[in-house]
A and B are shown apart, each in its own frame.
Chain A
Amino acid sequence: MTGSRPFAPTDDDLSQCVRCGLCLEHCPTYAETRLETQSPRGRLYLIRAISDGVIEPTPNALGHLDSCLQCRNCEAVCPSGVPYGRIMEQARADALGRGAAPFSWRLRALFLREVIARPGRLRMFAAALRASQRVGLLSLAQRLRFVGTSATLAPRTRGQPFTDTGLIARPEGEERARVAMLSGCIMPLAYGDVHRATARVLARNGCAVSAPAAQGCCGALHAHNGDLDTARALARRNIDAFLNEAPDAIVVNSAGCAAAMKEYGDLLTGDAAYRDRAREMSALVKDVHEYLVGLPFEAPTETLDLSVTYQDPCHLAHAQRISAAPRQVLNAIPGLRLAEMEDADRCCGAAGVYSFTQAEMSIRLLDEKMLDALNTGADVIATANPGCLAQLEAGVRRGGGRARVRHVIELLDRAYSATGI
């Protein structure tokens, strides 16, 4: 069956689903629409039906697959262990591969491949975005029909871009480890401050931190969108870039990137030349909070008199199953009060490029998230992924109160250095 369709999900993966329905209430799109077609169980059934030729990959059917956030909440709660994330990526790859994907979907793949994956073009794109932000073009666009929602959700840049490579921070005190840091694609342009904070925090904890110059985008967005070829090419580039430095760990402050990099082994399982190194690489990848807790990190002494609520990035809580470590970091900060929101691990609607491709659903999820966040009365909404940061900032811009949005590591950095946030 997979002979002529190299990307199609395997029968073994698909048959893991026994349709028990325990995923339903954990699916953000099912919660919103109450439609079985927009539930994990329904989507798996559609994928299997398309695979078996029972239904055609019509725009309607593919639309149901496309409306999936790939937040993998379902995967985390699935008692049968259905590898939903992998299946969805392969199903999308199959649709793209056989030319069935709608135009907008292919256009997106093109943008991801030709802009996001290419540092030079991405910098130009970011500069244009930055300029339109500065001259007020984005705020203007927010008021327009059709593009208004996307303009609202478009990420705003904060601080200077992060362009450092090589050894970017020396350990304070005795060297405990040599770590390499992922710079990524959008993160260094939009959230340079977070990268600098991460480097300082790691250095403070005895790490020599490097940012390999040859690295690039992790390929997560490409894989999620079904462009597995590009995702694999990017993975290979990063494997070369990082393993050549032989670091003790590869530390990543973006949940989506770490999740993807931890799955390089899986992604390149069919690549004889890279399979082993991909596994080696995946084993070295650590989410920054996971890494700090494992060190363990030094407790900060400066007080941050703040009420903070934490939004679990899906690809941290569900894909990597890490939810305690970021909270441990926050709770270690003197004076900081962690005020948990309802359903902290429900997707905020960012989901990579979802906020642009499915703006309406994205906004619905965002508004609910903001309501939950604001109900805690927190001064700061903390999270750990660039997509979530941008989305929650958009939520605040949409009138979601005065809360500030910060990466957890930024807060820890401040608690080490005693400057205001």
Chain B
Amino acid sequence: MPLSGEISTASPLFDRARARLAPVAASLIKDLQSAIGVKHVLHAPEDLLVYEYDATIERGLPEAVVLPETTAEVAAAVRVAKRHGVPVTARGSGTGLSGGAIPCEGGIVIVTARMDRILKLDPANRLAVVQPGVINLDISKAAAPHGLYYAPDPSSQKACSIGGNVAQNAGGPHTLRYGSTVNHVLGLEIVTPDGDIVTLGGEALGAPGYDLTGLVVGSEGTLAIVTAVVVRLLPQAQATITLLAVFDEVRQASEAVSAIIAAGVLPAALEMIDGKTMQAVEPFVNAGYPPDADAALLIEVEGLEEETSEQAEAVRATCEVSGAREIRIGMSPDEREKLWAGRKGALGALGRLAPSYYILDGVVPRTRLPDVLSGVYEACERYDMPVANVFHAGDGNLHPNLMFDDRVPGAAERVLELGEEIMRLCVDAGGSITGEHGVGFEKRNYMSWIFSDDDLAVMARVKSAFGAEERFNPGKVFPSSKGCGEVSSRMKTAIAKIGPDAYV
């Protein structure tokens, strides 16, 4: 791809890090150390630096990082933070795509990576109780011997944590049929901003009263820190068939999406991969994608055996009518995995085309897909910005990936500008600013496109009800003009007050 502009010798990548690698108050570190042990409190600059990123392009450096192992340790760390008046940001695997785990205003990052135990697997009641650091796919692996699995399957499922999934209400290809994380969480154990441990929901279905579990799922770490999750497990489908339909034109493929649903089929997944993505992925996975096709649909149907083959047939016929030039069918697990490999590895493979990418997450009504997609391609052309589209077409959940070089001065700004324009396209088409990645830091200022000031004020009152104010994951979800990683006035005052001698 063409990378326009000259590459500066000093990368702007670390500019904010340079500004922020300031020393930290010794007493904060000492208190954290006595709360959860010296070994699991990080404060050296080089140890903190790697917690300033997630999978987005935002940066924000923490003042301290703690890696608790138990709920009690999380609560203790939160109480220390409260005492010192510093914010807390929870982090799972750092694979998020909206800057949700980035400590925009410094403070403490609580990493749940060491809380990675499956506390209980209850096949009879089809549920599991897991710590937040458990990797999404590991739940399905543990449940597999019982013929069960955990349905939400973000593309990062080999690496992302269930705690992060809960925070962002993560979706995935199979959201179309089974819903997102919120539909699969029965209960939560949380730590409140005051450091209290509270249980929401439970192992039984249909808890009375307000659905506080549902409220915390998707709250992006602004209300509470999740320390245990009760997840629902589903029985594995008796039969699964994966189809890959190849099209010469994106428009044909996007029209086929609506046609499939209109034909009365509810696929387990209905994904679109455009030509650019296929070209990026092919050398890595050898999925057999044709190099000259403009789009492909990956369609998975599942259920009872007979019903599944009928559905597969209906999908095949519909795709043919829509102009598919080739249809491949994967029946065995190996064949299916191969068809999927290109989709699951797509995001990382785009890294081969450019040093950086910016992945957008917007939703439009399914029937508006063809028009909005054309709009996306048009806008990207206007900005001369290469774009690859790989997304959950069945949900109308778009993921344009803008590819650029973060070392080129001004490139990141242009990308953000273009991203904003594309999000606007989605909202104008009657859609939304996030399908599954969350609002995070990235899209907080688009919230006002969808919500009125009154709406946002009500949300802020919910936050207050949890006692969160600006203590948990500040700078996220709510509109604000402050940039991520800018030194907050609180920090400046703190540094000035303590003086250089008190630094560790």
- Answer yes or no: do A and B interact: yes
Give the chain A neighbours of B95 by CB distance below 8 A.
20-22, 24
The verdict on A414 contacting chain B, using a C-beta distance below 8 Å, is: no
Most chain B CB within a 10 A radius of its CB, from A18, A48, A64: A18
Chain B residues with Cβ under 8 A from A18's Cβ? 55, 347-348, 350-351, 355-357
Asked whether B47 is an interface residue with its Cβ less than 8 Å from the other chain, the reply is: yes
Number of chain A residues close to chain B: CB under 8 A: 36
- Say what secondary structure dominates the interface of chain A: loop
Contact yes or no, B67 A58, CB < 8 A: no
Check A19/B135 contact, CB under 8 A, given A25-B158, A60-B46, A81-B351: no
Decide: B45 and A80 in contact? CB cutoff 8 A. Answer: no
Query: Is the pair B156, A22 in contact by a Cβ cutoff of 8 Å?
Result: yes
Out of A22, A36, A80, name the residue touching B50 (CB < 8 Å): A36
Pick from A45, A58, A80: contact of B349, CB below 8 A.
A80
User: For the complex, is A55 an interface residue (Cβ under 8 Å from B)?
Assistant: yes
B133 to A, closest residue via Cβ: A34
Question: Main secondary structure on chain B at its contact with chain A?
Answer: loop
A-facing residues in B1-46 (Cβ within 8 Å): 7, 9-11, 13-14, 17-18, 21, 42, 44-46
A79 located at the interface, meaning its Cβ lies under 8 Å from any Cβ of chain B in the complex = yes
Chain B contacts with A in 453-471, Cβ cutoff 8 A: none
Closest to B65 in A: A36
Which of A41, A60, A78 is close to B47, meaning CB atoms less than 8 Å apart? A60
User: From residue 64 to 114 of chain B, which have CB atoms closer than 8 A to chain A?
Assistant: 67, 93-95, 111, 113-114
Closest to A31 in B: B116
Bound together, the chains give a CA A298 to CA B51 distance in angstroms of: 54
Chain B min CB distance to A213 (Å): 41
Q: Please tell me the size bucket of the interface on B.
A: 35 or more
B436 on the A face (CB < 8 A): no
In whole Å, how far is A41's beta carbon from the nearest beta carbon of chain B? 8
| Chain B contacts for A17, CB-based, 8 A | 351
Inter-chain contacts of B7 with A (CB < 8 A):
11
- Chain A residues with CB under 8 Å of B503's CB are none
Neighbouring A residues of B94 by C-beta, 8 Å: 19, 21, 36, 41
20 contacts between A and B (CB under 8 A): A11-B7, A11-B407, A16-B355, A17-B351, A20-B159, A22-B156, A22-B159, A34-B67, A34-B114, A34-B116, A35-B67, A36-B50, A37-B46, A39-B50, A42-B50, A49-B17, A52-B10, A54-B14, A55-B21, A80-B349
Chain A interface residues toward B at CB < 8 A: 1, 11, 15-25, 34-37, 39, 41-42, 45-46, 48-49, 52, 54-55, 58, 60-61, 64, 78-82
Which 9 A-B residue pairs are closest in the complex by CB-CB distance? A79-B348, A80-B351, A15-B355, A34-B113, A21-B95, A18-B351, A42-B50, A61-B46, A36-B50
B interface residues with partner A (beta carbon < 8 Å): 7, 9-11, 13-14, 17-18, 21, 42, 44-47, 49-51, 53-55, 67, 93-95, 111, 113-114, 116, 133, 135, 156, 158-160, 284, 345-352, 355-357, 405-407
